[in-house]
């Protein structure tokens, strides 16, 4: 059980640290929302290509409506069975 930092895990950690840094500032809701959207976009791209669940790419245009729409939509699309 090691602490292997693959490029994707490094990206998650970096985005989490950036989100924490923005969360300490007064503009937190806007800044953390942007970090959350970027994190979801990277996650969606990485996992969709691995799982070949191409329908989940519908999450990317849904991000224009905000994280409150895009994240639940992605989780919904991700939860379906892959043939």
Distance CA 47, CA 53 (A): 8
- What's the gap between Cα 27 and its chain centre? 20
User: Which helix (H) or strand (E) covers residue 64, if one does?
Assistant: none
Count CB atoms within 10 A of the CB of residue 15: 17
Beta carbons within 10 angstroms of residue 30's beta carbon: 10
The answer as to whether 2 is a domain residue is no
pLDDT string in tens for the chain (83-residue length): 456 777 866 776 676 677 667 656 655 557 778 888 888 899 889 888 888 888 888 888 888 877 777 888 888 877 766 66
- The domain of 50 spans 7-78
**Distance between CA atoms of 74 and 5, rounded to whole angstroms?**
25
Count of domains observed in the chain:
1
Q: Is 83 part of a structural domain of the chain?
A: no
Give a yes or no: residue 61 inside a domain: yes
- pTM given for the model: 0.64
């Amino acid at each position: 059980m090691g602490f292997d930092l693959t490029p994707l895990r490094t990206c998650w950690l970096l985005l989490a640290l950036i989100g924490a840094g923005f969360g300490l500032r007064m503009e937190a809701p806007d800044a953390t929302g942007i970090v959350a959207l970027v994190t979801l976009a990277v996650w969606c791209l990485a996992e969709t290509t691995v799982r070949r669940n191409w329908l989940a790419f519908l999450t990317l245009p849904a991000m224009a409506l905000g994280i409150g729409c895009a994240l639940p939509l992605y989780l919904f699309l991700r939860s379906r069975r892959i043939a």
